[in-house]
Amino acid sequence: SGSRSCDFTAGGVFMWVGYFGYERCVYGNTLFIKGLSEDASRQPSFSLPVGSLPLDEAVEMVRDYCRANGLKPLFSAVPEDRLDELVALGVESVEELSDWADYVYRAEDLAHLAGKAYNKKRNHVNRFITDNPDWKLEPLDSTTLPEVIEFFEALDIESEKADPAMAEFEREQCLDVLRNYEAYPFEGAVLRGAGGRIVAFTAGEIVGDTLVLHIEKMDHHVAGAGEAINKLFAERMLAEHPGLVYINREDDSGDPGLRYAKESYHPAFRLRKYNVVMKD
């Protein structure tokens, strides 16, 4: 797709197939996805087509489908870097999905936490290292997966999303991903603290110059575990992928606590998304 949006990644689609009711069609080497809109209305909607067909031709096919099935030609979660070319094809309305903008950071910033803006984050990481001098960062792979699943199943997770149903669905999807981890194009890490006990894990995928983080879970009772895995994984990925420029930590789903946490890492920018209704 050429977009840094999490909605155009394997994890961003497959982790949410059930929640958004995604259906697919491939025609002319182009992927069409139909599901439900990424807002409270949950209307039937379409993702921006991705593939070889010119956008105007692909959009016209969606219009034809909507006419034949009595649907509104609605494209949901259109990233701002693709908005202008869609608007040029004739739109009825454009609505920003303010709760669904992705938080995108410079990989160097998260890996090094340099400068006054990151004083508190560095202090949390240093606290973790002091409390856990035998800490280790290991790959999330077939060797560590059974223990990670056991850790996650026992984890007391407070809701990270404003929508409790979505939070519960996300928990189940995370477990499903872990149980089928090798089917995903993911890279991940496991953080061990005192006594070799797992205290956090994370997983994401590289798309172009961007690491899209889909999962990051930690034991909130272990001081600095979240900040430590965030920094250490960014550091490792930057070393292993020299072309890495950005890290997309996805949206906040309108949850004030999650919004505060994401803003505290000082994003380079937020990738805004829109609902776009085409003229019929």
pLDDT higher than 70, residue 159: no
pTM for the full model? Answer: 0.94
Other Cβ atoms closer than 10 A to 229: 23
Mean pLDDT computed over 153-173: 74
- Residue 185's contacts (CB-CB under 8 Å, 6 or more residues apart) are 10, 11, 205
276 and 74 Cβ atoms separated by less than 8 Å: yes
Quote the pLDDT of residue 157. Answer: 65
What proportion of the chain, given as a percentage, has pLDDT over 70?
98
Lookup result for tokens 């410079």: 106
Mean pLDDT computed over 143-164: 81
pLDDT band at 177 (very low <50, low <70, confident <90, very high): very high
Mean pLDDT computed over 168-177: 90
Chain centre to alpha carbon of residue 276: 21
Mean pLDDT computed over 58-62: 98
pLDDT in tens, 117-150: 999 999 999 999 999 999 999 999 999 999 999 9
Structure tokens at 70: 């009595």
Encode burial over 68-90: b for 16+ CB neighbours within 10 A, e otherwise.
Answer: eeebebbbbbbbbebbeebeeee
CA distance 32 to 273: 18
pLDDT in tens, 180-197: 999 999 999 999 999 999
